[in-house]
Structure 1
């Protein structure tokens, strides 16, 4: 029996949020029927200007899986009422509800993710967590499944999620065949943090924390011990720790390590050795750098360079 999958699209939807998962399911077309839906039907213009022909939600009939793709406006301004009502109607009867990128904001606005784990594009993860505190936002994941709800990270992660959906329905061997045909990973290693430039720190609300953050960004490799930070902000180490927990949800040491890791990533991509990257970033030793890569990115510095380095790296001095 064919599984009907409806993609709820709207003006300024991100094209790859739609096209990526649709292509995965098209490769499994003997099992899945895909359709593009919109509140009123007709042509919908994507953010890249390419139009999509859609069916009106009222003419679609019942669907088995609803997929809500993303668009920048969903995180910035929220979805239009017509889109929310269409999503609510379709989700009420679908056996599975999924989102790609900022499509998660639609599901969260409808209250469907309350008390559940979810993810979205790393750039909007903190906005999602702030706007919907009842959602357990996972910032470093390519996709999350919680009950009948699936959410995925930014844009191309919709492909990862669609492959996971196929794997769940028809097994890993069939999903692997599709991944090979599309020349993508069945299970891409690492999470969003390998792309996110440390899941950018939100602007601090307090002057003291802003002073610390500016100082660390200005020279990540400098001495940023608890004593030094206290002197920089004219606060006690305990007060600084409380500020970091309250505003950033982490400790000073963990945040500083992440800033240093960002710098180390850039150094490695520009051809510096592991030893040079460790020293220049402030992480210290090769082993400290490797542990930081494993903890935050789930891969080694060598694997990271192999995956993301470009020809630019060949122009740098490899000795550091």
Structure 2
């Protein structure tokens, strides 16, 4: 079997983890029997300085490397991407390499280079959350969705920033070689393998406001400690040491949503993980995460995510199952 050429594109000011993380995933997979060979290309060969100052050696310049024969093209992002996408030689090389590649991927703001190369019209893509507004304004022809950590749309794969590139690379390895090799690579790298692409760039805890006082902090901690426990306003008030009415007012003011809404968000997120990571029946997942019945879970999923729990599992199981 011929080797699969994985070609990484970098430029001055690229984010080093956008390269190093996915590169290490493919290299470990190659050591486990995967048929990968990794190359790095840049506007010029030799030292390329990353956004953090780390100097990385690019083995090839775009002017010297034939864009043909690339199996998987992976384009890094970083602070220098806005300047890089003005480099017509680089953008043209990406377009040429992508034309014949089996698949094309970007990490973080590398999606802007794919857009500049004309590869994303009509596609659904993601990028780092801080670049969502810019991508939407500059490329209305693209369906930008910065909720997931990575998205596959046909042969185009895009991911959020930094560590999400490793999740993307593991999904690519699994797509090629199966779960066992991807799991072994993740284990060697001490990574959490089963973070599905559907997972939000921010968990509920990160996306929400942070509690400003100890009573509300105690109530929030109780919800995250056991999403499936009883979390009525009376239960949460007991954790907070406040009256139910007082907690309702304080919680909503500090967190931006009422307690019941926050509890539901945390439970949905927990149920998403369970559906994506295991074989537990939907009914059992519903009960364990506080939804009482599968029907209640189904209605909540439809309202919040637009899909049924069974459809969610079917959609994301391929990159989320043990």
Place the TM-score, normalised by the shorter chain, in its bin.
0.5 to 0.7
Shift of 1:80: 2.7
CA contact (8 A) 2:76 2:109 kept: yes
> The residue matched to 1:48 in structure 2 has which SS?
coil
> 2:22 corresponds to which residue?
21
Which stretch of structure 1 is more off in the superposition, 44-53 or 273-282?
A: 273-282
Shift of 1:293: 2.8
1:9-48 Cα distance to aligned partner (Å, 9 max, x none): 1111110000000000010124210011012322211111
1:168-208 Cα distance to aligned partner (Å, 9 max, x none): 0011121111111111111226311328964xxxxxxxxxx
Instruction: Please give the TM-score of this superposition, normalised by the length of structure 1.
Output: 0.66
Choose which of 36, 39, 47 in structure 2 pairs with 1:35.
39
CA contact (8 A) 1:144 1:150 kept: yes
Residues 97-136 of structure 1 aligned to structure 2 (within 5 Å): 97-136=104-143
Residues 80-159 of structure 1 aligned to structure 2 (within 5 Å): 80-159=87-166
Structure 2 CA distance for aligned equivalents of residues 58 and 76 of structure 1: 18
Structure 1 CA distance for aligned equivalents of residues 87 and 62 of structure 2: 15
> 2:302 corresponds to which residue?
none
Choose which of 158, 183, 193 in structure 1 pairs with 2:202.
193
Distance 1:271 1:53, change over 3 A: same
Structure 2 CA distance for aligned equivalents of residues 196 and 81 of structure 1: 42
Distance 1:53 1:70, change over 3 A: same
> Where in structure 2 are there 5+ consecutive unaligned residues?
221-235, 241-246, 275-322
Which stretch of structure 1 is more off in the superposition, 52-61 or 149-158?
A: 52-61
> 2:187 corresponds to which residue?
180
Which stretch of structure 1 is more off in the superposition, 113-122 or 71-80?
A: 71-80
> 1:8 corresponds to which residue?
9
Structure 1 CA distance for aligned equivalents of residues 205 and 158 of structure 2: 18
Instruction: Please give the TM-score of this superposition, normalised by the length of structure 2.
Output: 0.66
Choose which of 78, 81, 99 in structure 2 pairs with 1:71.
78
How well do the aligned residues superpose, as a CA RMSD in angstroms? Answer: 2.8
Distance 1:153 1:75, change over 3 A: farther
> Where in structure 1 are there 5+ consecutive unaligned residues?
199-260, 304-320
> 2:218 corresponds to which residue?
272
